Each structure stands twice: as structure tokens, then as C-alpha cells.
Amino acid sequence: MKLFRSKPKAGAVNFTNLPRHIAIIMDGNGRWAQRNGLPRTAGHAAGAETFRRVATYCKDIGIEYLTVYAFSTENWKRPAPEVQFIMRLLEKYLWEAIEKMEKDRVRMKFFGDVSILSEELQRLIEKTAEISQRYEGCQVNICVNYGGRDEIIRAARLCAEEVLKDGGGKIGMEEFEKHLYSSGIPDPDLIIRPGGEQRLSNFLLYQSAYSELYFTDTLWPDFTERDINKAIAEFQRRNRRYGDIK
């Protein structure tokens, strides 16, 4: 992984050579609200609108996979009213998405343990999975109650159970990856973190082994299509060697 902070020139994107998979840590909603003299919930509402806009833009320019960090396993530590507001926002978004998924040709998948979410949210998540099976198109992965360490432990446990059930054998990378939430999905080429922090915060720890990392001080609610272009332009200037010397 390469840690990098830069301000590349806008408009330098090669739209014929895009990353297949972009992942985003949607950070800075609370600080955005504070800077604007608003309650934290207003920041989350603004961040949800940014997500809609960015997801649409990624689909329109030809990004195959977009993965966003919506709610981590650690976010349950936040005040209960804030958590409840986030969950209501998610429910509202899913109702809207179900109405538009087939028209917009956007598939949806959830990463994380959704079993502890409300029955209504679980029902809506199942509905989006059902709709997603009907067609091919841009896939948006939403990480909810997700943690990279938890995902690795879960995959290891499931893989070990499978090996024991089959009477022994070795656990290889291919077998292990089948039990990740991201099974069948290419690793992210580019991970973007707005908000000024420079860490992964337990996001896609296994999948990010060779991801390019891009950090920006822009808070998530202020993030625009121009910011996506800047990140892609920087990605396209990187030399991805995967351990080779070329």
C-alpha cells in the first residue's frame, strides 16, 4: 500500500483507463456539521446526498464496483440518537434504491453482519439482493456493521469449519477468499478517504493489500465529482508493480 497525499491537476483523467473498483471511507460528516453550526445528524443527511451523487457519477463514467464504508462495528459506540438517525437514513435510502435499481442498472450488496439490524432493514437488504440477481451493471457494496478484522476472523472460522467437515485438508488463499464478504469481487484498485485522516480504520484490511490509497482534507459532505476525478487522476499516475521491479 502506498500512502500519498497530493493535489493533482483537475481534468487529467483518462476515462478509457479507469480503476475497476473504487472504495471510499465516507468520513467527516460530524465535523462538517460542526463547522456549519448544525447538529451531527445534519452532517449525516448531507453525507447521504453526497453518496447518492458520487455513486451515480461512478456508474456514469464506467466504474464497475464502488464500495463505501457506511457504518463500522465501532460506530455503535456513538450516542444512541445518532445511531438511530443513521439507520433511518439507510432505510430511507433503500426504499428509494429499490424503486430505481432496475431502471438505473445498479446492483447492490451489503458487507457486514446485518443480522443485528432491524427486521425492516434486513427485509430491504434481502429485497435489494433479489433485484440485483436479475441483471448486470455497476455494483455498489455498502459496508454496514462491518469491520475488516471481524471479516477476516469470520472467513477463517467458516473456512476451518468447511475443512474439518470435509475430513481435513489445507486452507489456501482461494478457499479463504470464498468466505469473505467480497467473494467474487476484485480487490479495490483505489481507496479514497476524505476528511483529513490518513488510516484505513478497519476497512477492507484483507482486500487492500495492493490498493492505492488517496487522502484528502475535503470533508465527505463537500466531496464532488471533481474530487473523484482528482483521485482517479492521481491513481493513473501511480506505478503499480505488485512486488515486481517493472
pLDDT digit string (tens) for 50-64?
999 999 999 999 999
Exactly one of 29, 75, 145, 202 is catalytic; name it.
75
Q: pTM of the prediction?
A: 0.91
Residue 220 falls within a domain, yes or no?
Answer: yes
Q: Is 217 a catalytic residue?
A: no
Burial profile 43-82: b = 16 or more Cβ within 10 angstroms, e = fewer = bbbbbbebbeebbebbbeeebbbbbbbbbbbebeeeeeeb
C-alpha grid cell for residue 129?
Answer: 439482493
Dist CA 68 CA 143 (whole Å): 6
Residue 84 falls within a domain, yes or no?
Answer: yes
Note the Cα 216 to chain centre separation in Å. 17
Phi, psi of 74 (to 5 degrees): -85, -20
Q: Is 29 a catalytic residue?
A: no
Q: Is 194 exposed, middle or buried (0-12, 13-18, 19+ CB in 10 A)?
A: buried
Residue 211 falls within a domain, yes or no?
Answer: yes
Dist CA 151 CA 5 (whole Å): 28
Residue 11 falls within a domain, yes or no?
Answer: no
Residue 13 falls within a domain, yes or no?
Answer: no
The residue among 38, 26, 31 whose CA lies nearest residue 70 is 26
CATH code for the domain in which residue 173 is found: 3.40.1180.10
Domain extent, residue 223, equals 21-235
Residue 190 falls within a domain, yes or no?
Answer: yes
Long-range contacts of 238-242 (CB under 8 A, 24+ apart): 238/2, 238/4, 238/212, 240/210, 240/212, 242/210
What pLDDT does residue 5 have?
41
Residue 9 falls within a domain, yes or no?
Answer: no
What pLDDT does residue 37 have?
98
Q: For the chain, which residues score pLDDT lower than 70?
A: 1-11, 167-168, 245-246
The residue among 136, 103, 139 whose CA lies nearest residue 21 is 139
Exactly one of 27, 187, 189, 227 is catalytic; name it.
27
Number of domains in the chain: 1
Q: Specify whether the CB–CB gap between 31 and 221 falls below 8 A.
A: no
Residue 127 falls within a domain, yes or no?
Answer: yes
What pLDDT does residue 38 have?
98
The residue among 229, 212, 192, 233 whose CA lies nearest residue 69 is 192
